[in-house]
Structure 1
Amino acid sequence: MSGQPAGDINANPAAIKSSGGKPRVFIDGEAGTTGLGIRTRLDELGLVDVLGIDPALRKDADARRALMAEADLIILCLPDDAAREAVQLAASLGENAPRVLDASTAHRVADGWTYGFPEMDEGQAERVAGASHVANPGCYATGAIALLRPLVKAGVLPADFPISINAASGYSGGGKAMIADYESGEAPAFELYGLGLTHKHLPEIEAYGLLSRQPIFVPSVGNFRQGMLVSIPLFLDALPGKPAAADLHGIFVRHYGDNGEVAVVPFADSKAAGRIEALALNDTNRLEINVFANPAGDRAVLVARLDNLGKGASGAAVQNLRLMLGV
């Protein structure tokens, strides 16, 4: 995996199937947190027709295949193995196969899939728009890649530099069991997890962060429903060229510009703040990049703030859907 956007499986997506003008979308796995979030956003926008399935038939392959045949695009909100099976099920429709947006981990670094982070690079939104198979990014990965990729591309951060990533998320990103534990009061107020250092987001962070050395990634979860901070500390005097924090900030500004949902917080503001909380972007599809530095200027902390249910999941999926369907 080169870290560049993967080639598209089908460069000529089919025309809209609906004679009424609105594209048709089938959410396979609508009952989960991400699926419900996508459905709510689509209902509010009213730009597509969402095809429903009888809850009793959610795992019935024939019923799902029939809906896939009607859909212009399917969104997969399934466990990884089920997502792979769903892709094969859709492919069995041949020329009538819908376009696919996969919110699972299954295809994020797979050949032939386009990575659904439109702001990642210049031209990435156009790649998403033209793709037939798009992998929606992971929440933690979105923040980490947003911080790492511009610096590696600019040559300021070596691809093999030792990187540690610390992140805190609301409990809604942990699935039904974790949500139930927190909402029943049985979960701790705060905990680290993934301490085997093999978190499922690491492959995409390494690939699209353009790293040749896998970082240490330590995620955590707090007793709040949604919101996320992803932080990367750096010894600036250990980097080639010993860049100043303001230099890193300038790279982010040049890389993202006025680019979609990613905003770079003014350096003076972030430097003076001294603290940052995780919930400020809840219920949005925004991601903010902050650069904090110590007075001596030899250390910095890069922080990405986002909603783990917004730019980290359902919001990003709807953004990708709108690009893919041109709505």
Structure 2
Amino acid sequence: MATVFIDGESGTTGLGIRERLGALPQVTLKSLSDDRRKDPAARRALMAEVDLVVLCLPDDAARESAALAAELGRDAPRLLDASTAHRVAPGWVYGFAELTPDHHENIAAAATVANPGCYPTGAIALVRPLVDAGLLPADYPLTINAVSGYSGGGKAMIQAHDAAHGPAFELYGLGLEHKHVPETMLYGGLSRRPIFVPSVGHYLKGMLVSIPLHLETLPGKPTGADLRSVLQARYAGCAQVTVVPAPTNGKLEPEALNDTDRLELYVCANEAHRQAVLVARLDNLGKGASGAAVQNIGLMLGLRTGAGVRELADA
């Protein structure tokens, strides 16, 4: 049995993690009463009792909670941070298990893991294999477009859409300072900052991340099939990440993977025009948040949870 404390379990991601972990007989969840959840001494005491703590908190609170755990020294639990606070911080392992063929081993051995953002999960899955293969230069001027359901915006956005129905569609982050860009650059293997244009639609969950490419501007002038082959080789044998043929009707909708922890990758190419669009589809609350967290928890605690990487899938 493994014991887990979710610090901030009442939020959207925390509730999703709790629901998933509650279905695992190998895990015992520990909690604090409502009147003690903000008591640092009570939180630190519980941290000393468990094997792993999941931080589902705003960034500043996540840093404070990580500091509380560090005060325990050798008695400190392992940490998984679902916030943005530690995604590019030294000493924290990035929690995208399929980042490289052996990256799940880094997660399994780590004391502190940062869960990925939902948008970067799709973008990095598409970009990193192509950069590693030399088909996409690290300094290529990428544009990343994405749309998410409104659950990705947290409680305030959920309440706004539920109460007032919200706009049908809106762009946001047009100041080009979105907090997901640093991790996308670092773990995507990029040296040039991409232009990232996120948007939200009036539906609860589901995400599409798309990256347009001019094939003639890439090294070796690859075809769409070349790009697809690289992605297929990288994710061969992965249970949760699959490369899917481009849709014959030229359409993709964002909700098809809702309530799953899967990530689908597409290469949609027009060879006559030498253009392509890379697309990732996922549930922003699944592989984009709670599902990825449980995958990482399984790796960190040595549990068979359907973690979706090659070795665990074969176990």
Q: Deviations for 1:288-319, whole angstroms, at most 9, x for unmatched residues?
A: 00010125150000000000000000000000
- Alignment map for 1:1-327 (pairs within 5 Å): 22-266=1-245, 270=246, 272-327=248-303
Partner SS state of residue 164, structure 2: coil
Q: Is the 8 A contact 1:271 1:293 kept in 2?
A: no
Q: Is the 8 A contact 2:210 2:280 kept in 1?
A: yes
TM value normalised by structure 2: 0.94
Q: Is the 8 A contact 2:148 2:206 kept in 1?
A: yes
1:250, 1:111 → 2: CA distance?
Answer: 33
Q: Deviations for 1:78-122, whole angstroms, at most 9, x for unmatched residues?
A: 111111111110011111100000001011111111110111101
Q: Deviations for 1:42-94, whole angstroms, at most 9, x for unmatched residues?
A: 11223200001111221110111111011100000011111111111001111
2:160, 2:72 → 1: CA distance?
Answer: 41
Q: Which runs of 5+ in 1 are unaligned?
A: 1-21
Please tell me the residue identity of whatever aligns with 1:323: L
1:187, 1:63 → 2: CA distance?
Answer: 39
Partner SS state of residue 101, structure 1: strand
Paired-residue identity, %? 64
Q: Deviations for 1:3-54, whole angstroms, at most 9, x for unmatched residues?
A: xxxxxxxxxxxxxxxxxxx110000000110001100111122320000111
Q: Is the 8 A contact 1:170 1:222 kept in 2?
A: yes
TM value normalised by structure 1: 0.91
Q: Is the 8 A contact 1:119 1:260 kept in 2?
A: no
2:57, 2:241 → 1: CA distance?
Answer: 27
2:165, 2:288 → 1: CA distance?
Answer: 25
Partner SS state of residue 147, structure 2: strand
Q: Which runs of 5+ in 2 are unaligned?
A: 304-315
Residue-pair matches, total: 303
2:110, 2:233 → 1: CA distance?
Answer: 26
2:34, 2:249 → 1: CA distance?
Answer: 48
